[in-house]
Structure 1
Amino acid sequence: MAKYTLLTGSTGLLGRYLLRDLLLAGKRLAVVVRPSRQQTIQQRIESILQFWENDLQMQLSRPVILAGNITEENLGLDEESRQWIAEHCDAVIHSAASLTFLEEADGEPWRTNVGGTHNVLQLCHDTNIRKLHYVSTAYVCGMREDRVYESELDCGQAFRNDYEKSKLQAEQLVRGDDFIEELTVYRPAVIAGDSRTGYTNTYHGLFLYLKIMCILARNTEPDSDGVRRTEVQLHLTGEEQRNVIPVDWAAAVISHLFCNTEAHGRTFHIAPQVRMTPRQMIEAGCSYFNSTGVEFIGHAEELELSDGELQRHAYENSTLYRDYEYSDPEFDLTNLEKFAGHLPCPVIDEAMFHRFMKYGEEDNWGKRRLPEARNPLNVGKLLEKAVRNVPTRQDQPFENQHPKQELCLDLTGPGGGQWIITLKGDQIIALKPGSNSSSCATITMPADLLVALMQKDSSGDLSQGQKLAGPLSTLKAKVSSGVDGSPEQLFIVALGRAVADQACDRSDYDLLPRKDQSQPA
């Protein structure tokens, strides 16, 4: 049986790229998601996947979506979901994390980074999952300035903030759990936007500095030469080395390492070979905004905070990251270069900085309202309805002539998903999420196509069900080699019978908000 991998953090910046790349690699995924104030768990994942489908111009498979929250006991999963994980999953990628730097009243970042990791480990115990891929951070090294090796963890180092401390404790938790037989640890450096598009959904780290630059430049009137004079002093030399990586590269490397079993059981620094400097960032900003006036005064000089509003604004809004301005170590990349050396980190040059700034401005630095995702038919709900509507046939000849058969249905694109369907003759008698594609016939097709076929069959003509198997081989559907009795054809006929007496009504369109529904800001 093709096993699933349970992924946490799939709605975060790195997580949504991991979701995309692992699906593109053909991996079966289940995701633990909590609803937001605006969206259900299905809506959150569907929005992300439709974003990728628009970008890639292709349809993606859908993960199994489980309602949960890693900060709760059992990840907030119900008994049915935990049982499903025990039966279908053999590995966990734990990517969820809180980026809160200083402890807050709700317990973050400790609640998510330490408590959430403890809960993930407990779930592994309860569901007999012994392979864990843990996304840590390179900054478990704390305030070190020397070369940091992949084999090192607790060296008595000091820390800049609670985020670093909490991630160290979390990594110690996973390393100290003897139940986990195969632990792979990924330690990314500072994650920035997409190297190709500039995309981000979070404005921390590098993007905070880019936002400050934008505010300063856009609020400074150009002089007669069209140049903006942003007179700001920076307590830096400008040549400090910074470990910043594009998110698409980080996800591509982690996905590659996950798919290579030879790489498992190791620790990887996901860090750049060529580091950026503050001077490169400032020069890129000056060329982007046609500005000048930023001065690097070195570490020994005192800043003159009374020199003006621009200086004060720049200083006050960057205090959270001040400790990172003075120290950033060199990370050993031995394992990374051995197993992913063919995937070099893109150098963050002027053009990439410009893409970051352009995207930030277009996105209004996170305040832009994104277009609504397409409103697909809830195919899962319709399949469940089909099962409920099947009349029970208990006559002995039918029971004897028609043994149970399983069929896997993999629907790609909006509204898609995977289901294991149990057939008895031309009746669907059971439906459960997931796939067992290695041991039963599989239909892979766009969800839209199945909906269209089902709607064709809603005319009431039962003979239409017999005609639906044909289009599967011609209308972009891929039918795997079946077993005796052609379960894939029986499924189409059975589905036709189940929905023949009812049209697809609006109640089935509940996966995403309707166009006329107002959404909270």
Structure 2
Amino acid sequence: MRMKTLLITGATGFLGGCLASKYLEEGYRLRIIARNLRGLPLKEKMDKIFPDKTTEERNAFSDRIELLEGDISTENLGLSEADYLRLAGTVDMVVHCAAATKFENDANDILTQTNIYGSLHVAGFCARKKVKRFHYVSTAYVAGNRRGIVFEHELEKGQKFNNNYEQSKYEAERRISSLAKQQGIPLTVYRPSIIAGDSITGYTKNYDNIYAFCRELVCLNDYETRRKSGNDSLIQGRHEVRPVSLRIPGDKHSTINLIPIDYATNAIFHISKQEEAAGKIFHIVNPTPPTIEEIAEWLKVATGIYRVRVVPQHEFSASAPNALEKSFFRRNKAFQPYMFGEACFDSANTRAFLAGANIDCPLITQEFISRSIQYAIQTKWGKKGADREYREREYEVEGTGDHQKTGNNSLVSNI
């Protein structure tokens, strides 16, 4: 069979990079469009996309890769007319992973330009010169604030959204689905839930979502350990105070739909090879997601911070938050809506297309959470060579009544 040529966007990201590696390993030719590649030496470009590959591995498949500086939010994907038309005539299929993922309202323009118009530009490319299969990576959270069972064929149900990211992905999926029907583009949509690290190694490139919670707890634990030791010049001579508790508002019985990156990669890759997947939508989700209470307990063990409690909103609001709770809430404000429940994502299509392939979503367990945190610590939370920052002013430790302020913005460590 002729070796297929695949155009992939978002290959410098977590899922996009893992998918790019998978397609390479299976013999595909890759055309990779990414921003901010111009001027970088080839080795640095490859490092950004394939950080898990050795030099020998990269050399072995370098003749099947073409890296192009581009921008999907602009016409012709930011390519020259010649490159655009050349790719349009030679590419067989497109995997579109690129997306802006900021939840903040002030990022709305970026979300619109990248997630909506960028996706439409990529969809339009699939109809130029020859029709190409289009694999679009959406998100399960286009369901917004819906509850109950959400089926894979459903999209527009009058739902509201927790943030602009969800809404932009919803709008993008709605528009490209319409365009695909008009242009006869064979479209497959994948809706992964929250992607965490590798189930075996803990490997990740994305330190958002649950990692943001983990980092705060690890930093706090390390700070308190150094306080107690009394051997740090920055904290010597301070008064010993009672460690504070950390209340997190949420519904401890609701679930968080976490999936390991290796499951997401293998599931999408396997489904994408099947012609029958065209025209279908797949929830790439965990069929047995853990509850928030379970994750909280596992985080306690993994970080050594046992004073964490998930409490109902009315209980949290009944008393003023301490300084640690204020800091924690502020840093993780974007994720608060997900602490109060989510939909139950049906995945009948996914199960049917993965049947017999030995591709199952691994269970999220204490071991998985501990492994993920350990990997994050070893890689300094994605900041190679960076010193550990203690947010000492943020973590004002509460005593019997007065906050003990340190007067320093940060401390230095190894996280």
Q: TM-score w.r.t. structure 2 length?
A: 0.81
Q: Which has the higher contact order (CA 8 A, sep 6+)?
A: 2
Tell me, in whole angstroms, the C-alpha distance in 2 between the residues paired with 1:264 and 1:84: 25
| 1:331 lines up with 2:320 in the alignment | no
Q: What does residue 146 of structure 1 align with? A: 148
Superposed CA deviations along residues 450-479 of structure 1, whole A, max 9, x for unmatched, are xxxxxxxxxxxxxxxxxxxxxxxxxxxxxx
Q: Structure 1 217/38 Cα, relative in aligned 2: closer, same or farther at 3 Å? A: farther
Superposed CA deviations along residues 31-90 of structure 1, whole A, max 9, x for unmatched, are 112225883577323553362247989954542222211111100111231232133112
Q: What does residue 95 of structure 1 align with? A: 97
Which of 342, 353, 360 is the equivalent residue of 1:344? 360
Which of 152-161 and 45-54 deviates more?
45-54
Tell me, in whole angstroms, the C-alpha distance in 1 between the residues paired with 2:209 and 2:187: 28
Q: How many residues of Structure 1 are paired with residues of Structure 2 in the alignment?
A: 368
Q: By how many angstroms is 1:263 displaced?
A: 2.7
Q: TM-score w.r.t. structure 1 length?
A: 0.66
| 1:274 lines up with 2:278 in the alignment | no
Q: What does residue 183 of structure 1 align with? A: 187
Tell me, in whole angstroms, the C-alpha distance in 2 between the residues paired with 1:53 and 1:363: 18
**Are the equivalent residues in 1 in contact too, given 2:102–2:165 (CA < 8 A)?**
yes
Q: By how many angstroms is 1:106 displaced?
A: 7.6
**Are the equivalent residues in 2 in contact too, given 1:130–1:180 (CA < 8 A)?**
no
Superposed CA deviations along residues 325-382 of structure 1, whole A, max 9, x for unmatched, are 1121110110010011431111111111111111221222222149xxxxxxxxxxxx
Q: By how many angstroms is 1:152 displaced?
A: 0.4
Tell me, in whole angstroms, the C-alpha distance in 2 between the residues paired with 1:155 and 1:172: 12
Which of 342, 365, 374 is the equivalent residue of 1:358? 374
Q: By how many angstroms is 1:2 displaced?
A: 3.3
Tell me, in whole angstroms, the C-alpha distance in 1 between the residues paired with 2:227 and 2:293: 24
Which of 255, 263, 268 is the equivalent residue of 1:254? 268
Q: What does residue 83 of structure 2 align with? A: 81
Q: By how many angstroms is 1:245 displaced?
A: 0.9
Secondary structure, aligned partner of 1:220 = helix
**Are the equivalent residues in 2 in contact too, given 1:149–1:332 (CA < 8 A)?**
yes
**Are the equivalent residues in 2 in contact too, given 1:274–1:347 (CA < 8 A)?**
yes
Tell me, in whole angstroms, the C-alpha distance in 2 between the residues paired with 1:322 and 1:284: 19
Q: Which amino acid aligns with 2:76?
A: N
Structure 2 runs not aligned, ≥5 long: 230-241, 387-415
Residues 411-426 of structure 1: matches in 2 within 5 Å? Answer: none
Instruction: Among all aligned residue pairs of Structure 1 and Structure 2, give the percentage whose two residues are the same amino acid.
Output: 31
Tell me, in whole angstroms, the C-alpha distance in 2 between the residues paired with 1:136 and 1:12: 14
Which of 148, 165, 168 is the equivalent residue of 1:166? 168
Superposed CA deviations along residues 256-307 of structure 1, whole A, max 9, x for unmatched, are 1112223332110000011022222222222223332122332432346645
Tell me, in whole angstroms, the C-alpha distance in 1 between the residues paired with 2:215 and 2:184: 42
Q: What does residue 245 of structure 2 align with? A: 231
Tell me, in whole angstroms, the C-alpha distance in 1 between the residues paired with 2:377 and 2:175: 40
| 1:298 lines up with 2:302 in the alignment | no
Q: Structure 1 42/72 Cα, relative in aligned 2: closer, same or farther at 3 Å? A: farther
Q: Structure 1 147/56 Cα, relative in aligned 2: closer, same or farther at 3 Å? A: farther
Tell me, in whole angstroms, the C-alpha distance in 2 between the residues paired with 1:57 and 1:111: 33
Tell me, in whole angstroms, the C-alpha distance in 2 between the residues paired with 1:103 and 1:52: 37
**Are the equivalent residues in 1 in contact too, given 2:104–2:164 (CA < 8 A)?**
yes
Q: By how many angstroms is 1:223 displaced?
A: 9.6
Q: Structure 1 271/236 Cα, relative in aligned 2: closer, same or farther at 3 Å? A: same
**Are the equivalent residues in 1 in contact too, given 2:131–2:185 (CA < 8 A)?**
no
**Are the equivalent residues in 1 in contact too, given 2:34–2:70 (CA < 8 A)?**
yes
**Are the equivalent residues in 2 in contact too, given 1:41–1:65 (CA < 8 A)?**
no
Q: What does residue 202 of structure 1 align with? A: 206
Tell me, in whole angstroms, the C-alpha distance in 1 between the residues paired with 2:59 and 2:259: 27
Q: Which amino acid aligns with 2:130?
A: N
Secondary structure, aligned partner of 1:52 = coil
Which of 97-106 and 333-342 deviates more?
97-106
**Are the equivalent residues in 1 in contact too, given 2:73–2:118 (CA < 8 A)?**
yes
Residues 120-135 of structure 1: matches in 2 within 5 Å? Answer: 120-135=122-137
> Superposition RMSD on alpha carbons, in Å?
2.7
Secondary structure, aligned partner of 2:92 = strand
Q: What does residue 7 of structure 1 align with? A: 8
Structure 1 runs not aligned, ≥5 long: 371-521
Q: What does residue 106 of structure 2 align with? A: 104
Q: What does residue 25 of structure 1 align with? A: 26
Tell me, in whole angstroms, the C-alpha distance in 1 between the residues paired with 2:40 and 2:318: 47
Larger radius of gyration: 1
**Are the equivalent residues in 1 in contact too, given 2:126–2:185 (CA < 8 A)?**
no
Q: By how many angstroms is 1:200 displaced?
A: 1.9
Which of 59, 69, 72 is the equivalent residue of 1:70? 72
Which of 33-42 and 60-69 deviates more?
33-42
Q: Structure 1 41/126 Cα, relative in aligned 2: closer, same or farther at 3 Å? A: farther
Q: Which amino acid aligns with 1:181?
A: I
Q: Which amino acid aligns with 2:183?
A: F
Tell me, in whole angstroms, the C-alpha distance in 1 between the residues paired with 2:224 and 2:319: 18
Which of 138, 147, 161 is the equivalent residue of 1:136? 138
Q: By how many angstroms is 1:233 displaced?
A: 1.4
Tell me, in whole angstroms, the C-alpha distance in 1 between the residues paired with 2:375 and 2:244: 22
Tell me, in whole angstroms, the C-alpha distance in 1 between the residues paired with 2:220 and 2:286: 29
Secondary structure, aligned partner of 1:6 = strand
Q: By how many angstroms is 1:187 displaced?
A: 0.4
Q: Which amino acid aligns with 1:27?
A: Y
Which of 215, 224, 249 is the equivalent residue of 1:211? 215
